[in-house]
Structure 1
Amino acid sequence: MISAVWSRISWRKMLVVLLSVVAIALSSCSLNSFKTEAAQVPRIVVSSLSDPKTFNPIINTESSDVLAYIYEGLLSQNGLTGELEPGIAEKWDISDDQQSIIFTLQEDLKWSDGEPLTVDDVVFTYNSIVFNEKVPSSVQDIFRIGETGAFPSVRKLDERRVEFRSPEPFAPLLRFAGLGEILPQHALQNSIEQTDSEGNPFFLSALGTDTPPAEIVGSGPYYIANYAPTQRIVLERNPYYWRKDAQGNPQPYIERVVLEIVESTDTSLMQFRSGGLDVEAIPPEYFALTKREERRGNFTIYEGGPALSTTFLTFNLNKGSRNGTPLIDPVKSRWFNSLEFRRAIAYAIDRPTMINNIYQGLGVPQNSPIYIQNPYYLPPEQGLPTYEYDPAKAKELLESAGFKYNSAGQLLDADGNRVRFNLITNAGNKVREALGSQLKRDLPQIGIQVDFQPISFNTLVDKLDNSLDWEALILGIGGAGIEPDGGRNTWSVDGRLHVFNQAPAQGQTPIEGREVTDWELEISRLYVQGGQELDDEKRKVIYGQTQRLAQEYLPFIYLVNPLSLMAVRDRIEGVKYSALGGPIWNLYELQVTEN
């Protein structure tokens, strides 16, 4: 029987079989070796919902988990208080006129490749990259000062001191200049000086995800040792990192950080519960289940109050065309640009049910682009407009705007077109998918049909940044911190995050017929004024006006602000959790022990 089987298998097929067995064995050995080695090295494993699109922090347009590990700024931010603390710079001095900041760098700084990190790198980062008009970015947006949009000047004073000088008073300058990533001149100079056939610097494609890890030079606590797309990013401790503890020991203490690419929050949570991850955001719907597992799973769930993020529904209000083709169907564009339509949608959304069903009661209604915990937040009792669930009010608004209902209860516009639109969000984010499903159920109560489709995050980003051919979407913006001017690139009419009426980026196909409304211009003007004002109480008044206008005209219809919940393995010591800083903002001083 055995010889008969052998006679039916050619030697070539047998070779394939043997090679396959060897490959599987080697793969298994490699994985086991990785796990064995990892067990001997102090490390933590965290997750990321998608592969990075780039390792370039200047042109990056999305939240990228890996960048914070490999790059650092002149200053750092305390994750509990929001106060600024030393980073690459050991101190800073502000002039009496508040227009000059002099940073003094730490001594003997080095990049992750061992090259000296100097004042020249700081000057290069800002003058040659951030302020370079051929390198458009949202980072560039926030440094445009005043009505003219002028940049601050950056100059070297000596080997350790660099001066930032603003052309006029600009309250956020210290925070923006201090927290921006510094890049290595020796590694990137050529990419700025050399251009392609269209005159664009090669820097625009530098530090892509195909860049060999050894060529990605940073100043942060870690460097990229290995990147396997769709699988993981392995970060090793930067031996040249500047921080040391009180006894002179180099920090961070944790040798390795592994970012597992897990493109679903459900899968990510499953991996955490099985012990594969050390840190995990806990969705409200799984809080009760996960809470019961704390002791057995050797982890603690931290709660930091309402999260510092926004979740919203927005419509594409851009009336423009490209090459004669409207970005949005003109019929639908008229609906979206009707203020009564947007207000009706806001009244028709059942936020209490969202909080109870999707967030399991672990959230609060969201009504402002500025976080509830932020000192600049304007509460409803001080004049912030809100939209309580009221379908009858929604129908009344629609009929006042010329919409009407047919005998089947379907909403029609004045020309008899049925009101129906496409709604997208990023697939894999279960909360956003659940929000979209509820909107699909809520809006038929006022006669509107919603065609809801989750799509890949990279496809969604391409629609927002490039094609601009979307109708409605559910998205969130987070990470702006406590400085309200951090939202200026969202509210400036030409900002790179002004997604509801986006201007084309430099080098993109022009848009004909884009219109900017008076309220958009006013919010944009107020953000400029807020940056110019140095008195904090007056700034609160200015940003209060921006919040009123945002809620009155509803370019973003805010949904729910969940509580900030994060689970961390108990073997990680030194955690100081907050909604502002997250679970590992002080990673440099965390330690791991086996339990």
Structure 2
Amino acid sequence: MRHINISVIFIKTFSELFQENQKNMLKIIFRSLLCIVAIFSLCFNMVGCDFKPKRSPYVLVNRLGDNPATLNPILATDAESSSVLEYVYETLLKTDYKTLELQPMLAEKWDVSDDHLTYIFTIRKGVTWQDGVPFTVDDVIYSFERIQDPKVDAGRLRSYLVDVLSVKKINDDQVEFKYKKPYFKALEIIGAGMPIIPTHIFDNGEDFNTHSADRKPIGTGPFKFKEWETGQKVELERYDGYWGKHPEISGIVFKVIPNSTVALQLLKKGDLDINGLRAIQWAKQTESKVFNDKFNKYHYWIPNFAYIGWNLKKPYFKDRKTRIAMTMLLNRQEILDKLLFNQGEVVTGCFYKFSNAYNHDLAPYAYDPEEAKKLLKEAGWADTNKDGILDRNGIPFIFTYIYPTGSTFSRSLGLILRQNLYKIGIEVKLMPMEWAAMLGRMRDRDFDAVSLAWSLGFNQDPYQVWHSTQIKEGSNYIGFENKEVDKLLEQARVQFDPKKRDEIYRKVHEIIHYEEPYTFLFTTPNMIAVSKRFTNVQQYKAGLDILEWGVTPVHNLIQW
């Protein structure tokens, strides 16, 4: 397709103006402006007009729904940060996309003692950080020490390393981890779950939680940091000194696009190469021949669930009956059908629905407004002052529902919740929040209700979300506390028999379902569109691995 380069025409027009006689200047300017207007009009009505700069076809343009909270892998807890960091930083081991088995990464081999208490890793030789400094065993130990430092905001990672007794350097090539007691995920956590950071960058006297490297990361991965324009994009470029196989993709640009509708428009226009699709986009807005000539679509399940979390430390949600009433006031199946076009399944608990840990004997709480009213009355809620709002102990039932800015589903869900609760005398205030601010509110436990989702591992351990020790600084943001659940979670951690561990988790599921600290919503599939410019795009159990993708050589692309 032929392209018109408007910048050349524009410059040429004004260059010619100054070569004319002075007496014709105004006439020519007027005609030139008319010409420019005509050209812009023509250009905007032509498909493929590239009056903007071009970009390399070897650069993958992806989307972030919001700004990353940080680019420090030890501090990061959000999906946006992780989406960027997985290409910059590495771990000792990695999980194979196809088999889900552990494979060598920064460690070339490892040994585990028969009692599951000692783990020795031999690090890979010849690996350098992206500034050229060699990677060493000392970096592994330093990374562990930062996670364990109570001054560091690493509660999420620390909760998985509580039983590590010691870490020591055996020699320049080997590091040893010793555990107090066995843990079924120990190898996975210290091998593939503990990010390794450079000692020489972070150990310079700066506050770790606000370190300058949090915005300018230096890792050992296949891509290195290039630029972060807050609110606009994060850009990575291929690291030519990478120890492993070099990806064919030369760079990745993550554009911050909160609105999913805008993101789909940009995808269709060619300004994005890959994008997650909402259910309506998958079912209704990407079915045309034009779209499918340009993009391949992928649909697969990975462990996740969406939920509304009720802050149990707030007076509204302290009791079980009130929380169950909240769930009974939401018609989850109807929401699934109408908002998500049936792309998902209603869940009753925190485990992956297609795993043996999920308790399939439990039925979802039914949509039943009348039963919900009854439960609220039993819980002590009544309109004692006849103002139309339920109250209890002098506290009106008015709460705030926070959700991520740009989440169309969370907003729609909030509107439905507000409408349903208003009918029975409960007022819901909706508050969209930027991601970093929302995470801050959750860390401070300063919220009433929150709409979010958890992305789970295939090999699940929900300790960080549900154990009472995680209320203060872990991911137990809602303040759930149950002694029986604590005991079961601790038992599961030392159980290496998957069948017996699943039995324990099904009991955990049963208790949490009974208490209903979340309104559990749905598990949903990943629905992805990828430009056909990329080749060898394989769909695995763990998703898509862009590091193995090829690129079809084409002309430079339009940069809108």
Q: Same fold by TM (over 0.5)?
A: yes
Deviations 1:190-235 (A, max 9, x none): 2xxx3xxxxxx622211455x4x4xx31011101112222221211
Contact 1:43 1:592 in 2 (8 A): no
- Measure the CA separation in 1 of the matches of 2:199 and 2:156: 18
- Quote the residue 2:357 is aligned against: 376
Match of 1:435 among 413, 418, 443: 413
Contact 1:294 1:301 in 2 (8 A): no
Give the aligned residue type for 2:62: V
Report the secondary structure of 1:314's partner residue.
strand
Contact 2:305 2:524 in 1 (8 A): no
Q: Alpha carbons of 1:58 and 1:415: their partners in 2 closer, same or farther (altered >3 Å)?
A: closer
Match of 1:473 among 411, 436, 450: 450
**1:118 Cα deviation from its structure 2 partner:** 1.8
- Measure the CA separation in 1 of the matches of 2:424 and 2:164: 48
- Quote the residue 2:538 is aligned against: 576
- Measure the CA separation in 2 of the matches of 1:101 and 1:373: 31
- Measure the CA separation in 1 of the matches of 2:267 and 2:496: 45
Contact 2:160 2:464 in 1 (8 A): no
**1:587 Cα deviation from its structure 2 partner:** 2.4
Q: Alpha carbons of 1:151 and 1:158: their partners in 2 closer, same or farther (altered >3 Å)?
A: same
Match of 1:304 among 300, 307, 316: 300
1:46 aligns with 2:85: no
1:591 aligns with 2:550: yes
- Quote the residue 1:206 is aligned against: 211
- Measure the CA separation in 2 of the matches of 1:372 and 1:170: 24
Give the aligned residue type for 2:117: Q
Match of 1:78 among 77, 85, 96: 96
Match of 1:397 among 353, 370, 375: 375
Q: Alpha carbons of 1:33 and 1:119: their partners in 2 closer, same or farther (altered >3 Å)?
A: farther
Q: Alpha carbons of 1:257 and 1:492: their partners in 2 closer, same or farther (altered >3 Å)?
A: same
Report the secondary structure of 2:543's partner residue.
coil
- Quote the residue 1:92 is aligned against: 110
- Measure the CA separation in 1 of the matches of 2:280 and 2:425: 29
1:494 aligns with 2:508: no
Q: Alpha carbons of 1:407 and 1:499: their partners in 2 closer, same or farther (altered >3 Å)?
A: closer
1:101 aligns with 2:119: yes
Report the secondary structure of 1:542's partner residue.
helix
- Measure the CA separation in 2 of the matches of 1:469 and 1:80: 40
Contact 2:66 2:258 in 1 (8 A): yes
Give 1:181-330 correspondences, 5 Å limit: 181-190=195-204, 194=205, 202-207=207-212, 211=215, 213=216, 216-244=217-245, 251-293=246-288, 295-296=290-291, 297-305=293-301, 307-318=302-313, 328=314
- Measure the CA separation in 2 of the matches of 1:204 and 1:362: 39
Give the aligned residue type for 1:98: H
- Measure the CA separation in 2 of the matches of 1:550 and 1:414: 25
Question: What TM-score do you get using the length of structure 1 for normalisation?
Answer: 0.79
Report the secondary structure of 1:353's partner residue.
helix
Q: Identity across aligned pairs (percent)?
A: 27
Give the aligned residue type for 2:152: V
**1:444 Cα deviation from its structure 2 partner:** 3.1
**1:481 Cα deviation from its structure 2 partner:** 1.0
Q: Alpha carbons of 1:378 and 1:295: their partners in 2 closer, same or farther (altered >3 Å)?
A: farther
Give 1:19-34 correspondences, 5 Å limit: none
Contact 2:226 2:237 in 1 (8 A): yes
Structure 2 unaligned residues grouped into runs of 5+: 1-21, 27-49, 555-560
- Measure the CA separation in 2 of the matches of 1:141 and 1:528: 15
- Quote the residue 2:505 is aligned against: 543
- Measure the CA separation in 2 of the matches of 1:316 and 1:364: 25
Report the secondary structure of 1:376's partner residue.
coil
1:358 aligns with 2:339: yes
Report the secondary structure of 1:70's partner residue.
coil
Report the secondary structure of 2:135's partner residue.
coil
Structure 1 unaligned residues grouped into runs of 5+: 7-31, 195-200, 245-250, 319-327, 502-515
Contact 1:348 1:389 in 2 (8 A): yes
- Quote the residue 2:460 is aligned against: 484
**1:474 Cα deviation from its structure 2 partner:** 1.1
Report the secondary structure of 1:484's partner residue.
coil
- Measure the CA separation in 2 of the matches of 1:591 and 1:525: 49
1:177 aligns with 2:154: no
Contact 2:147 2:158 in 1 (8 A): no
Report the secondary structure of 2:111's partner residue.
strand
Q: Alpha carbons of 1:98 and 1:116: their partners in 2 closer, same or farther (altered >3 Å)?
A: same
Q: Alpha carbons of 1:415 and 1:143: their partners in 2 closer, same or farther (altered >3 Å)?
A: closer
RMSD: 2.6
